[in-house]
Amino acid sequence: MPTDFTRRPPPLRAASPVSTPTPLTRDAHDWTADMLSVARARDRAAFMRLYDHFMPRLCLYLRGLGSPEAVAEELAQEALLRLWQRAAMYDPQQGAVSTWLFRIGRNLHIDRIRREPGWVQVLEEAAPASDEELARPFTSAEDYAEHVHLQRRIEDLPAVQARLMRMSYFEAKSHQEIADELQMPLGTVKSHLRRAFLRLQGQVRGQP
Amino acid sequence: MNPHHHLDPSTVVSYAAGALAVEMAVVAATHLETCAHCRARVDEAERIGGQLVEHQQPALSSSRLADLRACMLEQLDAPLPPTPVAAARGAPYEDDDRLPTPLHPYFGTSYRALKWRWMAPGVHCIRAAGTRSGTLLMLKIGPGRSMPVHSHGGTELTQVLRGAYHDALGQFAPGDIADLDSGVEHQPVTVPGTACICVSALDAPLRFPGWLAQRLQPLFKL
């Protein structure tokens, strides 16, 4: 019997990183500028600011994906070390520092758990989109405004969409695993995720 | 190559989240090699992932963080390893013997070296070894052939590599991906002239409603 999530209080809202309201002022710090200082001048102070901000968050993310604490710490250290080592490859037009770290952390995690032949190659080959493919804001002020918009949209997601996004991003559950766990038809899982994604891209406004 | 059929947004989200089954991710990556539209969507989904991670409330104890921090500071003096060179984006592969890069670990690098197995009249296949769950296979279907009507227990992700087929959803040519879920019943028919080669991932058995197809199913092990 499928559960009707729209009729009961959102079960994860209090605990969910997807829906926890966060003061946006904290993000006024310009991580891109720090990243560029690392790239251009090997600026250790800038790197350690990035480290202090992202290290605990990456640990939490990796633990959520199922890594034991020691493994999560090891992978997060590895991810941040790559940030230091490969800073010269960072291109602000290609996305925020958080996006870059997310990719690195995710790939390290998948590499660790899957141990499939060639798996990481598959991930690395699917290179990020190039500049001309992205309609991305170009100034840091526009980028920051976009960041704030996205955060608002995340906080405004309907409870069931937020829960499914959380299960995808923080527990790496497949559509079928989500369907099984929530006793929800597969097609419903997909349509919720589809709508959540379109909403977060700002393509859908108003009620779900 | 300018694909007309793209990944479903729900597949894009799971790909970016690292939540797709391996077989599905291999086929999705094959599509992404040639599809700028879907690459940009994946980029958006990764941006969402980055923001979700950044906005978590951290829980690491400050003494533990201090230890890890000291450990990191020590590593910053090590000489930098050489910067890896970004791989060239997928070369057009239609008139080329080279398989798309994401398929190399599973099927090798060359179309000519593929060892096709007979599956049914006009249909050959190769099943990838080494995947743990689900099915990853390449199919070669002769020109002008009609496949049995089937639907899917779960999801089917099919990327066309050569040739083309059409079904109720339209025409699928090289670069196009069919991202089908259990609601879809279809009967692909390949276009005349050239064999259609595609790579498919299935996360549950196909369902063939016809009695003949049902009898054949155990033979195909689909």
The closest CB to that of B102, out of A18, A56, A122, belongs to A122
pLDDT under 50 in chain A at which residues? 1-27, 206-208
CA angle B152, B108, A176 (to 5 degrees): 25
Through-space distance between the first and last CA atoms of chain A, rounded to whole angstroms: 23
pLDDT under 70 in chain B at which residues? 1, 84-95, 130-134, 150-153, 182-183, 204-222
pLDDT recorded at residue B174 = 94
Q: What is the CATH number of the domain that holds A74?
A: 1.10.1740.10
Residue A110 belongs to a domain: yes
Burial class from Cβ neighbours inside 10 Å (0-12, 13-18, 19+) for residue A46 reads: buried
Residue A22 belongs to a domain: no
The answer on A112 and A41 residing in a single domain is yes
pLDDT recorded at residue A23 = 45
The answer on A170 and A203 residing in a single domain is yes
Residue A46 belongs to a domain: yes
pLDDT recorded at residue A189 = 95
The domain boundary residue, chosen from A121, A154, A180: A121
Task: Say how far apart CA A67 and CA A61 lie, in whole Å.
Answer: 9
Residue A14 belongs to a domain: no
Residue A81 belongs to a domain: yes
The answer on A105 and A47 residing in a single domain is yes
The answer on A86 and A152 residing in a single domain is no
pLDDT recorded at residue A145 = 78
The domain boundary residue, chosen from A93, A121, A149: A121
Which domain, by its residues, includes A95? 31-121
- Helix (H) / strand (E) element for A72: namely helix A69-85
Half-sphere exposure of A168 (CA within 13 A, CB side): 32
Mention every residue, 6+ apart, whose C-beta is less than 8 A from residue A103: A128, B46, B50
Handedness of CA B166, B167, B171, B174 (dihedral sign): negative
Name the pTM for this structure.
0.84
Interface check for B20 against chain A (CB to CB < 8 A): the answer is yes
Residue A150 belongs to a domain: yes
The answer on A107 and A51 residing in a single domain is yes
The answer on A54 and A98 residing in a single domain is yes
Closest by CA position to A137, among listed A96, A193, A167: A96
The answer on A192 and A116 residing in a single domain is no
Task: Give chain A's domain count.
Answer: 2
The answer on A116 and A35 residing in a single domain is yes
Distance from CA of A130 to the nearest CA of B (A): 8
Q: B160 and B103 in contact (C-beta within 8 Å)?
A: no
Q: Label the pairing between strands B117-120 and B123-127.
A: antiparallel
Distance from CA of A94 to the nearest CA of B (A): 9
The domain boundary residue, chosen from A121, A156, A178: A121
Task: List Cβ<8 Å contacts ≥24 apart for A136-141.
Answer: A136/A93, A136/A95, A138/A93, A140/A30, A140/A32, A140/A33, A140/A92
Q: What is the CATH number of the domain that holds A183?
A: 1.10.10.10
The closest CB to that of A57, out of B56, B68, B204, belongs to B56
How high is the ipTM of this complex? 0.84
The answer on A48 and A117 residing in a single domain is yes
Residue A2 belongs to a domain: no
- Tallying the residues shown for chain B, one arrives at 222
Q: Which of B20, B31, B60, B207 to mutate to test the interface with A (most CBs of A within 10 A)?
A: B60
The answer on A117 and A149 residing in a single domain is no
CA A115, distance to chain mean position in Å, is: 22
Chain B positions touching A188 (Cβ under 8 A) are none
pLDDT recorded at residue B153 = 66
The answer on A117 and A145 residing in a single domain is no
* Chain position carrying tokens 């798996």: A119
- Say whether A85 and B81 touch across the interface (CB within 8 A): yes
Q: Which residue of A has its CA nearest to B103?
A: A122
- Say whether A77 and B71 touch across the interface (CB within 8 A): yes
Helix residue ranges per DSSP H, chain B = 9-17, 22-34, 36-54, 62-75, 104-107, 211-220
How far lies B75's CA from each of A32, A42, A80, A122, B67, in Å?
22, 13, 11, 29, 13
> Left if phi > 0, otherwise alpha if psi is -120 to 50, otherwise beta: which for B54?
alpha
Task: Say how far apart CA A54 and CA A45 lie, in whole Å.
Answer: 14
Residue A134 belongs to a domain: no
The answer on A164 and A84 residing in a single domain is no
pLDDT, tens only, B128-156: 876 666 689 999 999 998 877 766 667 78
Interface check for B32 against chain A (CB to CB < 8 A): the answer is yes
